[in-house]
Chains A and B, each alone.
Chain A
Amino acid sequence: MDLHRFGMDTITLAGPLEAKLRAMRAAGFTQVMLSARDVVGHPDGDDAAVTAVRNSGLRVTGFQVLRDFEGLSGHLHAYKVDVAKSMLQMCHALGSRVLLACSSTSTHAEPDIDLVVADLRKLALLAVPLGIRIAYEALSWGRSVNQYQQAWQIVERADRSNLGIGIDSFHILATGAKLDDLVDVDAQKIFLVQLADFMWNEVPSFEDRINTARHFRVFPGEGVHATDMISLVRALDAMGYEGDYSFEVFNDDYVQLPLVTVAERARQSVQWLAQQLPQRGVPMRRELRAAPSTRLR
C-alpha cells in the first residue's frame, strides 16, 4: 500500500482546478479523481480543463459521477442516455479509464432488476469504443440498490467485461454492510475503491446519510470508524484487489482550508492506512496509458 495507488479527489479541495492539481502533486500524489464540475466549471472552458489535467502529470483515477441512469423508460431513459454519452466523452477527453455510476435515487426508476441490468449493459457498451470501464456503486440512499452486495449481483448478472462495481467505504460504514460478503465478489471486477470515514457513529436514515456524505466526511484515520475502515481495506487486500483507491472526502471545512493543508492530511491518511496493512512488496502499478483514439469526441 503506497501513495501511488491513491488518487486525491478534487471535490475535497477548494480553488481552481490547476491549484488543486498542484497541491496534490506537491503532497506526493500521482493520481487525481476528477469530477465533471472540474471540466464544465473551468473559467476558460472545457478544453482548458482537459489541458490542465493532461499537463499535470497526474494519472486520472476515475471520473464522476453519472447519477440516476438505470431503471428509467421512455423519454427519461433517452434523456439519461444523452447525459451518459456526454459524461463518457468528457471522461475520455480527460484520459480517464473509469466512469463512476451511482445507483439510482430516482422515484421514476423502476426497481425491475431486468431493466436495471439491460440499462447497465447499454452503458457498458457505449463505453467500449472509448476504452472506459463503468464502476457501478451502491449509494447508501439508493432507492432500490443501496448495498454493495446488490450492486455486485447486478454487475454479475449483466456480465459485461467493462462493467464492475465501485466500492465507497462511506456507504458500507453508513449501512453497516457485512464485509463477509466480499468473498463473493470477484476482485478483478472492483474497478474503483473510494475511501472516506465520518464523524458520527450512526447515520440511520437516508437523510442522515445524504447530509453526512455531502458535508462531514473525513479522511481514513480521522473518523470514528477506524476499526471498520481497517477491516475493509484488509479484506480488499486479502481478496487480491490491486486497483486504485481514491479519497472521496466531501467536507465543508476542508473547502475553506489551505489546499496544501488538506493535501497533507490526505497524505497522512495514506500513511495511516499503510501502517494497518501487512507489509509486502509494492504492488504492480498500472502504467499511465492514453485512452484509445476515437472519433467519438
Chain B
Amino acid sequence: MNPLDAGAEPTNPLGIDGIEFIEFATPQPQALGALLQMMGFAAIARHRSREVMLYRQGPMNIVVNADTQSLPASDGAAPKVSLSAMALRVADSAFAWKRALGLGAWPIPTRASAMELNIPGIHGVGDSLIYFVDRYKDLSIYDVDFVRLPGADAHPPAVAGLHFFGIVQTVEDGRTADWIDFYRTLLSFSVLPGGQYFGILPKGTLMESPCHSFYLQLIEPPPGAEDIDWDERLLRIGLGAPDIHAATQALHERGIVFIDHGAVQTTERGALTQIYPGGVTFELVVSHLADAAQGRSAARSEPHEAASQHGKAAIHASPIGSGA
C-alpha cells in the first residue's frame, strides 16, 4: 500500500531515531562515573553550569547528573542511583513536545541558563523524564551545553560493539496496559507479540520504538511479591552486543562482575551484572541492532563543517564531537 494513501496512520510521526542519551541522577557521581568507566564509558565533557558529566562509548551517551535540584527527595535511606531520563532523537523537538502536550503529556519546566539549550521534555514514569532532541546529526547538544575535558577522546570506541538496546521499567500490578497506552500514544511504540523476548530475563511486555532500534520492557511484580518495594520507575538499561561471550569477557577484564548462577547466569542470549552500590545493574542482550547502531555512530563521527554551512559555527566554538 502506498504510505501516502489517504487515511494511512504515520507509524513514526515524531521521526524518532533512537536514543540520544540516557541520564542517571545520583548524589555520588564519582562512584557512578567509576562504574561507567569499568563498563567502557569515558568521561568526555562537563556541563557549563551544573554538576553534570557526559560519558560516552561508541554510539552511546550517558549523562550523570548530580545537580541537587534534579535529584529526587531523599527519604533518609542510602543514596540511590536513579535512571532519571531518556532523551529521544526526533526530527523536530518543538513539534514532538507540542504534540505530546496536546495528547496529555505533562511538560517539564525549562532550566536552561543563558546561552544553554532548552531541551524540551515531558514527565515519564516515577521521577523520570523524557527529552526530545533534534540536534544529533551535524550538530550536537553537547557542543552547546558542555565543555570538553582536556585531552579527552571525543569518540572512544565501544567495548565489544556495545550499544543501547533498551530500558526496563517496573509497573504496578495491573498497570501494563496503562503504560502501553502511554508509550503507544505519545511515542508510537508498539507491543511485540507475546513470547518474543531478548536476553535472559524474558518477562513482562516488550515495546519496540517506531525506528526499530530500541525497546522498552514493562515488568509487573512477580506473583507473591506483595511485600517487596515495587515503585514504578525506570529500573535498568540494557546494552546490546553482537557476541555476549566476547562482551562479558572484555568487561570482566575491566573489573565488571556478572551473575554466574541461578536463572540469570550468562548465556549466549545475554548476561546481567551484579548489583552495584546505589542499586545499579546493567543487562547485556545479544543484539541484532549492532549494524544499525554502527551506522548511526559513523554518522555522528562526520566532521562538523556541514553545520558551519548553516551559519551556526559560533554555537560549536568548543566542539566536543568534532575531534578538534
A4 adjacent to chain B (CB < 8 Å): no
Q: Are A128 and B182 interface neighbours, CB within 8 A? A: yes
For A118, give the chain B residue with the smallest CB separation. B103
Q: Quick check: which of B172-180, B254-262, B308-316 contacts chain A, the rest being far away?
A: B172-180
Bound complex: CA A122 to CA B126 (Å) = 19
Q: Kindly provide the distance from the CB of B42 to the nearest chain A CB, expressed in whole angstroms.
A: 30
Question: Cβ of A98 < 8 Å from any Cβ of B?
Answer: no
Contact of A292 among B102, B106, B177, B232 (CB under 8 A): B232
B185 at the interface (CB under 8 A from A): yes
**A293–B103 CB distance below 8 A:** no
Majority secondary structure of chain A interface residues (helix, strand, loop or mixed): loop
Q: Is the CB of B127 within 8 A of A125?
A: no
Pair A296/B123 contact, Cβ less than 8 Å: yes
Could you tell me the distance in whole angstroms from the C-beta of A79 to the nearest C-beta in chain B? 15
The CA of A287 and the CA of B185, in the complex, are separated in Å by 30
Chain A residue numbers with a CB within 8 Å of B102 are 122
Chain B positions within 8 Å of A295 at CB level: 72, 123, 126-127
Contact call B181/A292, Cβ cutoff below 8 A? no
Question: Hey, which chain B residues are within 8 Å of A129, CB to CB?
Answer: 106, 123-126, 182
Asked if B206 CB lies within 8 Å of chain A CBs, one says no
Q: Measured between alpha carbons, how far is A287 from B174 in the docked complex, in Å?
A: 13
How distant is B192 from chain A, measured CB to nearest CB, in Å? 18
Binary interface encoding of chain A residues 168-196 relative to chain B, with 1 for a CB under 8 A from any of its CBs, else 0: 00000000000000000000000000000
Interface size on B, residues (CB 8 A): 25
Interface: B231 (CB within 8 A)? yes
Chain B residue nearest to A287 in the complex (CB): B226
Q: Which of A85, A131, A293 gathers most chain B CB within 10 Å?
A: A293
**Residue of B104, B127, B178, B186 touching A294 (CB-CB under 8 A):** B127
Size of interface on A: residues with Cβ below 8 Å to B: 20
Question: A161 and B178 in contact (CB under 8 A), knowing A129-B123, A293-B232, A295-B127?
Answer: yes
A162-B232 contact, Cβ under 8 Å, with A85-B106, A129-B106: no
In contact, A131 and B103 (Cβ under 8 angstroms): no
- Tell me, yes or no, whether B105 is within 8 Å of chain A by CB: yes
Whole-angstrom CA separation of A292 from B172 in the bound complex? 8
Determine the chain A residues whose CB is within 8 A of the CB of B178 once the complex forms: 128, 161-162
Does A126 touch B at the CB level, under 8 Å? yes
Flag A67-89 by CB within 8 Å of B: 1 or 0 each: 00000000000000000010000
Indicate with 1 or 0, residue by residue over B151-181, a CB within 8 angstroms of chain A CB atoms. Answer: 0000000000000000000001001011111
Known contacts being A128-B178, A131-B232, is A294 close to B172, with CB within 8 Å? no
Given known contacts A125-B105, A125-B186, A293 and B127 CB-to-CB distance under 8 angstroms: yes
Verify A121–B104 contact, CB threshold 8 A.
yes
Query: Is A124 engaged at the interface, CB distance under 8 Å to the other chain?
Result: yes
Query: In the bound complex, what is the Cα–Cα distance between A122 and B186 (angstroms)?
Result: 10
CA distance A294 to B231 in the complex (A): 10
Q: A292, B104: Cβ atoms under 8 Å?
A: no
- What 7 A-B pairs come out closest when comparing CB atoms? A125-B104, A161-B177, A122-B104, A292-B232, A126-B104, A295-B127, A128-B182
Q: Does B127 contact A160, Cβ atoms closer than 8 Å?
A: no
Complex: A125 Cα to B185 Cα, angstroms: 8
Give 1 or 0 for each of A145-169: 1 = CB within 8 Å of chain B CB: 0000000000000001110000000
Q: Does A123 count as interface, using CB distance less than 8 angstroms? A: yes
A230 to chain B, nearest CB (A): 31
Query: Can you list, as one digit per residue, whether each of A269-296 has a CB less than 8 Å from chain B (1) or not (0)?
Result: 0000000000000000001010011111
Could you list 14 A-B pairs, sorted by A, with CB under 8 Å? A122-B102, A122-B103, A122-B104, A124-B181, A129-B106, A129-B126, A131-B232, A160-B181, A292-B125, A292-B126, A292-B172, A292-B232, A293-B232, A295-B123
Q: Given the complex, which residues of A lie within 8 Å of B186, measured CB to CB?
A: 125
Question: Is B231 a contact of A128 with CB atoms below 8 Å?
Answer: no
**Residues of B close to A124: CB separation below 8 A:** 104, 181
Nearest-CB residue, chain B, relative to A126: B104
Interface residues of B in 178-230 (CB under 8 A from A): 178-182, 185-186, 226
CB neighbours of B180 from chain A (8 A): 161
B181 touching A162 by the CB < 8 A rule? yes
Residues of A within 8 A of B231 (CB): 292-293
How far does the Cβ of B99 sit from chain A's closest Cβ, in whole Å? 12
Interface of chain B residues 110 through 129 with chain A (CB within 8 A): 123-127
